Chain A
Amino acid sequence: MDEARIPQPEDLGDAQETRVEGAGARVLVIDDEIQIARAVRAGLSGSGFVVEWAATGTLGMERIAQWRPDVVLLDLTLPDLDGLEVCRQVRAWSQVPIIVLSVRAGDADKIAALELGADDYLTKPFSMGELVARVRVALRHVALRAGGAGAAARFQTGDLSIDFERRQVTMDGVEIHLTPTEYEVLKYLAINSGKVITHRTLLRAVWGPHYEDETHYLRVFIGQLRHKIEPDPTRPRYLITDPGVGYRLRAPD
């Protein structure tokens, strides 16, 4: 690594321009396999994204600093650096959404990537439709972050809606009574909707660091929450389980 060429957080500034999805949003692919890069570029260009490609972790970080992409697709197995290491280094100076692409299927890798600051992950092979959907979710989160207070006082996905001002949750217009804890969990997932939240992150955010490892109680808790917000709790439509990793609340329509 040439330290001199790594930009510092102040270089990027807060006023990073946010591009609307599809309208020329920039996607950087960091992957050493040219076939994947070519296919991803073809697929995403078709949906109106501008795609660039970097074949190594070092080159990728340089491109993030110089080109300032809106979303980064990061492979975990790179010729020079481990993808997890790239993720960690980038997070030191940039909040750009990172979607990890990997053939590694183990939970540990996914969790490690998410906890190092990756926003999402996709296991290869994946379908192009899935990839486009994930990129859009990531862009929406950037927009939400940049939009400031009041940008979204409500959250709506399918028939489930949350009114953050009044702390009110409704299903198909009918109010659902949640305990304060259930509400906080749902709110945290709604704010991060479409993204996988690891068990650990959710436990830490809602219950505090002492409860980080109480995963099995969280499963019971989520099961109870589902009984309130899911029409069919055995086939959840809103609060989706990513077994071994965490939970994901369905993205707004």
Chain B
Amino acid sequence: MIDIRQLFQQRLALLRAEITPASARAHIRRNARGYSEAIAGVAAASLVIALVRQFTQIANISLIYLLVVLYLAARYGRAPAILASILSFLAYDFFFIPPYYRFTVEDPAEWISLFALLVTALVIGQLTAAVHARADEAIASQRRIATLYEFAQLIASTNDQRELLDALAQRLLAEFAPEGMTACAIITPDTLGHPSVRASAPADHPALRAFDLQVRELAGRAAWVLSKGSPVADSMLVTENGVARQETSLYLPLRSGKRIVGALGVIGGERMRQIAGVAPDNSDQPVPGAARADTPSRDPQAQLFQALCDQIALAIERDTLRQQAIHAEALRESDKLKNALLGSVTHDLRTPLASIKAAASSLLQPGVAWSDEEQRELLESIDESADRLNRLVSNLLDLSRLEAGVATPQLEWYPLQDVLAPVLDRLELSGRVQGRVITLDLPDDLPLVPMDHEQIEQVLTNLIENALKYSPQDTPIEIHAHVIGTPPELQVSVVDHGVGIPASEKRAIFDKFYRVQHVRLPWDPKHPPVGTGLGLAISASIIRAHGGRIWVESTPGEGATFIFTLPIPADRPTGALPPVRAVAGVPTATEPVREAPAPEGAPEEGSDDG
């Protein structure tokens, strides 16, 4: 992309150099030169004729003047040529037709040759100038075609939409800077339909900053253009080098077919307004015969402007279509995913449902006298299956919430202990620990870390459940937490001494629905582990959303260590709550509120809470 921009800058410089003499002031300067050359040329021709006549008499020596006229017409156009024709006529009469040095003619025959000279000069001048103008026009038209072609090339070859729109804006500015355009911006509706500046040129023009402001703060104009499709003229105050001046800003619809795909903002003078075909006041009537009207303008610059606007519209439209294609592709992918999910989940949902149904209907069977023990077994199976179903459903909900980006972490400063303890309590309560040893290695001075407690609880639950599932009954699970590195991170690891994970699968296990292939637990070969294949995928999404990392280290056969990190920002709260003596208004049935004497020998009393 960078080379395109460089290339572009070079072309821009070339174009500027080429275009600049055509600007208005240069035009005047050029004409002045033409006139002075006309005078000098006629003088020189007169001198030559005078010199020649010293030696010999040539009948049609006045033809030398025609050479001057021819040159001027070809070089400077009509007006200098006319001037030269008249000057030649006068000079010839004055210097070379008797009586000399007077504007009178003795011999009437000389009148004829004098007027023949004038008419010939005028006609030659006119014809040459016309041919020359046509050639100029052809060159200009060729250049416009080249510009258009470049636009098309740019659109075809640039894939990055931002680069492309930036390049188009710059190109447009380069083309119309001679016409007084000082800045331009491409505006498209964002996802919410609000107009926003997508590209602008030049990048750091003060007018543009004001323009951007105008679009953002007074989005009304651009929004109006986007919705109604009629151009609007406005004026804005621009400050450059401390000098404020009024500039015309124009908002023009960019159409692709009948659809309005965006708006072009232009800052420029009166000429730009004409080219763009916007009425001078704020009425939305287009100027008759201008580019924006339905009838195409006869002004070639207006035509070019229109054509370039169409190209920009095309570029925007192309991007919109590509976005739609990407979106459609994403939808197809997510459809595939949903089907896979449905397949996997149907099985996982049906299994506990089936056992609940079987156990409940058994208990309801008329005329069967279940023993207490049998009843208890059936009821336990219902209870366990319900728990499993509940876990699965909340996993699925969490995953879909995370994937939709809805569950952005609600960060609050927590000590890890506060989040870990409830997880262990719940696992114990639900009977999933079953007497297994879980050792905790947490330093007393672990700092507060920003986290979404529900999400980190879930990560811990998933990792500990996995460790329990994939390691034999008589091995401990270890949980370590430390602060490491600069900038500091909290690193939490969950260690098991189970089957471990093959190196080839260390990454894939964090994918959705992935389960370690052909895993058999040597200590319980008859019961392969069950799971949804979602736990680690959810954990990874959560940790990523927290700005941390998660990975696994493992030696197959010796166990696995799952590690995640959470960043600890520098702005962590320091300080403490102030000490209080006795609390008034605590609703207590036991004790009237009173200022309590400090118990003797309590060392903290003096300093109170650290």
Q: Which residues of A contact B (CB under 8 A)?
A: 105, 107, 125, 127, 144-145, 147-153, 164-168, 177-184, 187-188, 191, 203, 205-207, 211, 214-221, 223-224, 227, 233-236, 240-244
A residues less than 8 Å from B608 (CB atoms):
179-181
In angstroms, Cα B588 to Cα A205, docked, is 12
B residues less than 8 Å from A205 (CB atoms):
583, 585-586
Say whether A244 contacts B413, CB under 8 Å: no
A residues less than 8 Å from B62 (CB atoms):
none
In angstroms, Cα B573 to Cα A125, docked, is 37
Contact A180/B579 with A125-B386, A149-B592, A164-B590 known, Cβ cut-off 8 Å: yes
B residues less than 8 Å from A166 (CB atoms):
599
Contact A184/B415 with A151-B590, A220-B576, A221-B577 known, Cβ cut-off 8 Å: no
- Please give me the 4 A-B residue pairs with the lowest Cβ-Cβ distance, nearest first: A216-B413, A243-B453, A177-B602, A184-B583
A residues less than 8 Å from B589 (CB atoms):
144-145, 147-149, 151-152, 191
Within the complex, the shortest CB–CB distance from A224 to chain B, in Å, comes to: 7
B residues less than 8 Å from A241 (CB atoms):
418, 421-422
B residues less than 8 Å from A227 (CB atoms):
444
Among candidates B412, B604, B610, residue contacting A215 with C-beta atoms closer than 8 Å: B412
Say whether B587 contacts A216, CB under 8 Å: no
B residues 360-419 in Cβ contact with A at 8 Å: 383, 386, 390, 394, 410, 412-415, 417-419
In angstroms, Cα B365 to Cα A53, docked, is 28
Say whether A177 contacts B417, CB under 8 Å: no
Say whether B599 contacts A216, CB under 8 Å: no
A residues less than 8 Å from B586 (CB atoms):
184, 187-188, 191, 205
In angstroms, Cα B575 to Cα A221, docked, is 11
B residues less than 8 Å from A207 (CB atoms):
577-578, 580
Say whether B444 contacts A220, CB under 8 Å: no
A residues less than 8 Å from B448 (CB atoms):
216, 219-220
Say whether B414 contacts A150, CB under 8 Å: no
Within the complex, the shortest CB–CB distance from A201 to chain B, in Å, comes to: 11
In angstroms, Cα B415 to Cα A84, docked, is 31
Say whether A233 contacts B417, CB under 8 Å: yes
Say whether B609 contacts A216, CB under 8 Å: no
In angstroms, Cα B590 to Cα A227, docked, is 27
Among candidates B453, B457, B579, residue contacting A181 with C-beta atoms closer than 8 Å: B579
A residues less than 8 Å from B610 (CB atoms):
224
Within the complex, the shortest CB–CB distance from B600 to chain A, in Å, comes to: 10
In angstroms, Cα B390 to Cα A206, docked, is 38
B residues less than 8 Å from A107 (CB atoms):
410, 454
Say whether A181 contacts B599, CB under 8 Å: no
Nearest-CB residue, chain B, relative to A146: B589
B190 at the binding interface (Cβ < 8 Å): no
> Residue-by-residue, is B341-377 near A (CB-CB < 8 Å gives 1, otherwise 0)?
0000000000000000000000000000000000000
A/B interface sample: 12 pairs, CB < 8 A: A152-B589, A164-B590, A164-B591, A178-B602, A179-B609, A187-B586, A217-B573, A220-B576, A224-B610, A233-B417, A235-B421, A244-B453
In angstroms, Cα B610 to Cα A221, docked, is 9
Say whether B590 contacts A149, CB under 8 Å: yes
B582 at the binding interface (Cβ < 8 Å): yes
Say whether A224 contacts B580, CB under 8 Å: no
In angstroms, Cα B605 to Cα A183, docked, is 11
Say whether B604 contacts A179, CB under 8 Å: yes
A residues less than 8 Å from B114 (CB atoms):
none
In angstroms, Cα B591 to Cα A147, docked, is 12
Nearest-CB residue, chain B, relative to A233: B417
In angstroms, Cα B390 to Cα A107, docked, is 19
Within the complex, the shortest CB–CB distance from B260 to chain A, in Å, comes to: 42
Specify which of B414, B453, B580, B587 lies most central, judged by the most chain A CB atoms within 10 Å of its CB: B580
Within the complex, the shortest CB–CB distance from A17 to chain B, in Å, comes to: 17
Contact A179/B579 with A216-B413, A216-B448, A234-B417 known, Cβ cut-off 8 Å: yes
B residues less than 8 Å from A184 (CB atoms):
580, 582-583, 586
Contact A180/B598 with A191-B588, A243-B453 known, Cβ cut-off 8 Å: yes
Q: Which residues of B contact A (CB under 8 A)?
A: 383, 386, 390, 394, 410, 412-415, 417-422, 424-425, 440, 442, 444, 448, 453-454, 457, 573, 575-583, 585-592, 596, 598-599, 601-605, 608-610
Among candidates B390, B420, B588, B599, residue contacting A168 with C-beta atoms closer than 8 Å: B599
Say whether B591 contacts A234, CB under 8 Å: no
In angstroms, Cα B579 to Cα A68, docked, is 42
Say whether B457 contacts A220, CB under 8 Å: no
In angstroms, Cα B36 to Cα A42, docked, is 115
A residues less than 8 Å from B421 (CB atoms):
234-236, 240-241
A residues less than 8 Å from B410 (CB atoms):
107
B residues less than 8 Å from A218 (CB atoms):
577
In angstroms, Cα B592 to Cα A164, docked, is 10
In angstroms, Cα B590 to Cα A164, docked, is 7
Say whether A167 contacts B575, CB under 8 Å: no
Contact A167/B420 with A125-B390, A180-B580, A224-B610 known, Cβ cut-off 8 Å: no
A residues less than 8 Å from B577 (CB atoms):
181, 203, 207, 211, 214, 217-218, 221
In angstroms, Cα B236 to Cα A31, docked, is 63
In angstroms, Cα B604 to Cα A177, docked, is 8
A residues less than 8 Å from B581 (CB atoms):
180
Contact A191/B609 with A181-B577, A217-B577 known, Cβ cut-off 8 Å: no
B residues less than 8 Å from A168 (CB atoms):
599
Say whether B599 contacts A167, CB under 8 Å: yes
A residues less than 8 Å from B579 (CB atoms):
179-181
B residues less than 8 Å from A148 (CB atoms):
589
Nearest-CB residue, chain B, relative to A191: B588
Say whether A177 contacts B591, CB under 8 Å: no
Say whether A167 contacts B596, CB under 8 Å: yes
In angstroms, Cα B586 to Cα A207, docked, is 11
Within the complex, the shortest CB–CB distance from A22 to chain B, in Å, comes to: 22
Contact A224/B453 with A216-B448, A217-B573 known, Cβ cut-off 8 Å: no
In angstroms, Cα B596 to Cα A54, docked, is 48
Please give 19 more A-B residue pairs, beta carbons under 8 A apart, in addition to A165-B591, A180-B582. A149-B589, A164-B590, A167-B599, A179-B579, A179-B602, A181-B579, A191-B590, A206-B580, A206-B583, A207-B577, A216-B573, A217-B573, A221-B576, A223-B415, A234-B420, A240-B421, A243-B414, A243-B422, A243-B453
Specify which of B448, B453, B590, B592 lies most central, judged by the most chain A CB atoms within 10 Å of its CB: B590
Specify which of B412, B576, B583, B605 lies most central, judged by the most chain A CB atoms within 10 Å of its CB: B583
Say whether B609 contacts A221, CB under 8 Å: yes
B residues less than 8 Å from A180 (CB atoms):
579-582, 596, 598, 605, 608
Say whether B587 contacts A191, CB under 8 Å: yes
A residues less than 8 Å from B580 (CB atoms):
180-181, 184, 206-207
B residues less than 8 Å from A206 (CB atoms):
580, 583
In angstroms, Cα B591 to Cα A108, docked, is 33
In angstroms, Cα B588 to Cα A153, docked, is 10
Contact A219/B418 with A149-B589, A205-B583 known, Cβ cut-off 8 Å: yes
A residues less than 8 Å from B578 (CB atoms):
207, 211
B residues less than 8 Å from A179 (CB atoms):
579, 602, 604-605, 608-609
In angstroms, Cα B542 to Cα A134, docked, is 32
In angstroms, Cα B424 to Cα A240, docked, is 12
In angstroms, Cα B250 to Cα A138, docked, is 71
Within the complex, the shortest CB–CB distance from B569 to chain A, in Å, comes to: 13
Nearest-CB residue, chain B, relative to A106: B454
In angstroms, Cα B585 to Cα A165, docked, is 17
Say whether B596 contacts A243, CB under 8 Å: no
A residues less than 8 Å from B587 (CB atoms):
191
Specify which of A148, A180, A240 lies most central, judged by the most chain B CB atoms within 10 Å of its CB: A180
Say whether B440 contacts A164, CB under 8 Å: no
Contact A150/B417 with A179-B609, A221-B576 known, Cβ cut-off 8 Å: no
Within the complex, the shortest CB–CB distance from A58 to chain B, in Å, comes to: 30
